[in-house]
Chains A and B, each alone.
Chain A
Amino acid sequence: MLRYLKRNPSLTVGIGFLGVLVVFIAVGMILIDPEDARPLSAPALHPPSWAYPFGTDRQGRDLFAAMVVGTPLTLRIGFIAGILGVVIGTILAFVAGFYRGIVDTAIRGVADIGLTVPGLLILIIIAVSVRGGLTVNQMALVVASLAWLNPTRTIRSQVLTLRERGYVEVARLSGMNGPEIIFFEMIPNLLPYLGATLVNAVSAAILASIGLEVLGLGPLEAPTLGMTLYWVNFNAAIINGWWWWWMAPIVIILLVFLGLFFMTVGLDEIANPRLRRSI
Chain B
Amino acid sequence: MATIAELMRVLQFGDSLLPVGAFSFSNGLESAVQLGVVRDLDSLRDFVRAAVEQAATSDGVAVLSAFRAAAAGDAEGVDRADRAVFDRKLNEEMRTMTVRMGRKLAEMADRVIGPSAASAWLGRIRSGSAPGCLPVGQALVFSALGPSERDAFAVHQYGVAGMMVNASLRLMKIHYLDAQAILYEINADAEDAYDRVSGRSLDDMAAFSPVFDVLASLHVGAHVRMFMN
Answer whether A and B are interacting partners: no
